[in-house]
Structure formats: structure tokens, C-alpha cells
Amino acid sequence: MSAIAEPITYAHVDDNLARRNAMVLAVAQALAGGNNTVIVSTASIVGAVLSPDKGLATLPITAMVIGMWLGTLPVGALARRFGRRFALQIGSLFGVASGLISYSAVMHGNFWLLLLGTFCGGLYAAAHQSYRFAAADTASEAYRPKVVSWVLAGGVFAAVIGPQLVIVTKDLLSPYMFAASYLGQSACAVLAAAVLQFVKIPPVAAQRIESARPLLTIVVAPRFVVAVACGVASYAMMNMVMTSAPLAMVGCGHSVTDAALGIQWHVLAMYAPSFMTGSLIARLGVERVTGVGLALVALSAAVATAGISVAHFWTALILLGLGWNFAFIGATTMVTACHQASERTKVQAFNDFLIFGSMGLSSFSSGQLLEYLGWTAINEVIFPTVFVAAALLVWLTFRREEAV
């Protein structure tokens, strides 16, 4: 049998503990994800006001994504050295700092300080994006898709917390729009840190760490390559559209409330299916569910290019969220099948390093594309990207069938 079909074994397999951790991490995800949603809903609008060039309006969100990218490897290193919970709590500190710095940026009208604030938000995101892997640390192979999807289901509440926080607080410190929203963002990070104290993940034994394979051996395996391709196609493309959508909606004459609600529906669509995605993967197979997700991402682009009404924006954002959920949970599940317990943190961190690096590129190009080529051009980039990922997924499926 081919190496890609060999079973992956984890240390300390305990599905009851995995279930408990997943529930705790889902609550933390709701709060930490709300932090992210505040940035996504507001930063491009604030950036358009404070930036010296309108083409740089989405740069604050790009700074957040760069923070996610640069934070992934340190988070993995901290988890290996001091344990998962310590690494996640260091991230929480940056979440608190993000809101406070962004608040100061708005109060002083400082664009560069805003970039620092959202960059810290990205470092926080690098930590809370790894919640999904933390839940899988003690889960059996069959149980992993379920706990991963349960953690991401916490994003359903993030979809409500973030946009509603923005809507309620945006004018509280008038004329400094969104200043109070950023203070609320810090409060969410404090609450998430308190919840994380209840996470319990046994460390990997030192002798198992010493026996780990070199990273290069793992990441050149076909399954890992395809997992990363699907992760990039789903997350980078989703981020590119989500980054520019609020600014595009306002530019098309829609209100800030319409834009915030559009992001709310989008984030709800991203996370609500998580209650069933793990079960669908267990029943239909990870490749099929991932393929459906990629198809939905492409369909969202088709809707977005068809018109600029609120209905077009919201429908496209909802389809994009659904596609992201299926494709990204599928990609994450594939990654967990690529490594042993002793290799998990470095492989998972490297996977996120690649995905968030691509997101940094898509986020920055989003502002440039919107300013110089328009909303339609942003969505047209999705088609070739999804096609390549889907082709690789089909190739992997046939390769596995031949190997059995």
C-alpha cells in the first residue's frame, strides 16, 4: 500500500478529552473570532479615511494577515517548548494589545499606528487559528474531523459578536468612529484568555519528539501538497474578497450597516455548517466535501460578478463562507493525516505559514485590484485558483484509489 494510506498515530488518544477540549476551544473561538471580525468589518473603512493613498485602504487588513503569517511558526515553536495552552495565551496578550493600539490610532488619526494594531491582531489570529489543531491533539483518526469542525463552529457566535459589537459601538465615541469598537475587541480577547485556562492537552513525550521525521520529508508528500493547495484556494481567495467587500459595498452606495451585516452573514456561513461538516467528511470522504467547497467558492465569484446590489454582495459572501467551510475543514483534516504526534506542531505551523503567507498576498492585492480594476476583477481571480486546487484534488483521489 502507498505511504499516503498508512495510518497516523497520535499520543494520548482520548476522545472524551478531545470532546471536552473542543467545547472549551469553541467558546474561545467565538470570542477570539469576534476580535477578528471587528478588524475585517472596520479596518478597510478606517484605512480609507486615514491612509495617504486610497489604494492602501486595505493595508490594515494586510498587516493583520502578515501578522498571522509571521506568527504561525513562533506559535508552533512555543507550543513545542512550553505546551499548547501557553502558546495560545501569549496570542491572547497580542489580542488585547491589538484593540488598545487600534483605539489609539483612531483617536490620534494615525494610519501607521493602525497598521501596528491590526498586525498585533494578526499575531493573535495565528494563535487562535491553531485552536482547531489543538482540539485534534488527543482525538482518534475517525474523531478528528468532528472536533475540528466543532471548534470552528464557535465562529457562528463570532459572526454575531463581531458585527453587532461594531454596529452598537461604532458611534459611542463620536466623532471617532469605531474607537469604542476596538476597546470592545480587547475585552473579547481578555474573556477568551480566561476560557483557555480550561484547556488540557498532555505534552508529547521527549523521546517521541526526538524520533520525528525531518519537515521536508513530510511536506513534499502528495497529500500534504494537495492539502495546502486546497487551504490556499479556500482561505486566500475568501480573504481577498472579504477584505475588500465592506469597502466595495460602501463605494457602491451601500451603508456601513449593510456592509457590517454582509460580513456577519458571511462569517455565519463560514462557521454554521461546522456542526455537520465533520460528519459529512466521515460519511462522504474528505476529498468529496473539499471538492464541493471549492465549487461553492467558484459559484460565489460568479454571483459577485453578476451585479452590485446588496443582494448580490450578500449572496456572494454567503456562498463564499459556505465554500470556505467545506474546503478549509477538509484541508485541515488532510493535514492531520500527514504527521505523527511528535511532528504535529511543526507540520501544522508550517501549513498555516504557507496559507497565511498566501493570504498576505491576496489581502494586499485586494486593495490594489479594487482601486484600479474594480470589484469584478477581484472575483475573477478566484476561477483559475480554484481550478488548480480542484485539479490537484482529483489527481490525489485517483492516486489513492490506484494505491488501494
Out of 104-118, 134-148, 172-186, 297-311, least confident range: 134-148
Per-residue pLDDT averaged across 73-90, rounded? 85
Dihedral, CA of residue 206, residue 207, residue 208 and residue 211, to nearest 10: 130
Confidence of residue 399 (pLDDT cuts 50, 70, 90): confident
Share of the chain above pLDDT 70, in %: 92
Cβ atoms of residues 376 and 305 within 8 Å: yes
Please choose, from the candidates 286, 301, 389, the residue with its C-alpha nearest in 3D space to the C-alpha of residue 332: 286
Whether residue 83 is predicted with pLDDT greater than 60 in this model: the reply is yes
Cβ atoms of residues 145 and 249 within 8 Å: no
Q: Which domains does the chain have, with CATH numbers?
A: 13-403 (1.20.1250.20)
Q: At what angle do helices 59-82 and 84-108 cross, to 10 degrees?
A: 160
Whether residue 5 is predicted with pLDDT greater than 80 in this model: the reply is no
For residue 211, the model assigns a pLDDT of: 56
Segment 183-209, tens digit of pLDDT: 999 999 999 999 988 888 776 554 454
Q: Which pairs count as long-range contacts for 370-377, CB under 8 Å and 24+ apart, including other chains?
A: 370/58, 370/244, 370/247, 370/248, 370/251, 371/54, 371/55, 371/57, 372/55, 375/244, 375/248, 375/252, 375/304, 375/308, 376/304, 376/305
For residue 108, the model assigns a pLDDT of: 92
pTM, 2 dp: 0.71
For residue 191, the model assigns a pLDDT of: 93
Confidence of residue 294 (pLDDT cuts 50, 70, 90): very high
Whether residue 93 is predicted with pLDDT greater than 90 in this model: the reply is yes
Q: What does pLDDT average to over the chain?
A: 83
Out of 10-19, 355-364, 393-402, least confident range: 10-19
CA distance 270 to 323: 8
CA distance 261 to 246: 10
Segment 45-75, tens digit of pLDDT: 888 888 877 767 778 888 888 888 888 888 8
Counting beta carbons within 10 angstroms of the beta carbon of residue 161, is it exposed (0 to 12), middle (13 to 18) or buried (19 or more)? buried
For residue 291, the model assigns a pLDDT of: 93
Please choose, from the candidates 115, 52, 48, the residue with its C-alpha nearest in 3D space to the C-alpha of residue 370: 48
Confidence of residue 16 (pLDDT cuts 50, 70, 90): confident
Positive or negative, the CA dihedral 96, 162, 238, 105 is negative
CA distance 360 to 369: 14
Confidence of residue 12 (pLDDT cuts 50, 70, 90): low
Confidence of residue 29 (pLDDT cuts 50, 70, 90): confident
CB half-sphere exposure, 363, CA atoms < 13 A: 28
For residue 299, the model assigns a pLDDT of: 96
Confidence of residue 78 (pLDDT cuts 50, 70, 90): confident
Q: Which residues of 325-343 are buried (b: 16+ CB within 10 A; e: fewer)?
A: bbbbbbbbbbbbbbbbbbb
- Better pLDDT: 235 or 11: 235
For residue 3, the model assigns a pLDDT of: 36
Whether residue 133 is predicted with pLDDT greater than 80 in this model: the reply is no
For residue 389, give Cα distances in angstroms to 4, 52, 290, 293, 385.
Answer: 18, 37, 10, 11, 7
For residue 203, the model assigns a pLDDT of: 65
Confidence of residue 130 (pLDDT cuts 50, 70, 90): confident
Per-residue pLDDT averaged across 321-349, rounded? 83
Confidence of residue 400 (pLDDT cuts 50, 70, 90): low
Per-residue pLDDT averaged across 255-267, rounded? 83
Segment 301-317, tens digit of pLDDT: 999 999 989 899 999 99
For residue 110, the model assigns a pLDDT of: 92
Per-residue pLDDT averaged across 157-175, rounded? 82
- Angle (CA) 104-37-279 rounded to 5° is 155
Whether residue 360 is predicted with pLDDT greater than 70 in this model: the reply is yes
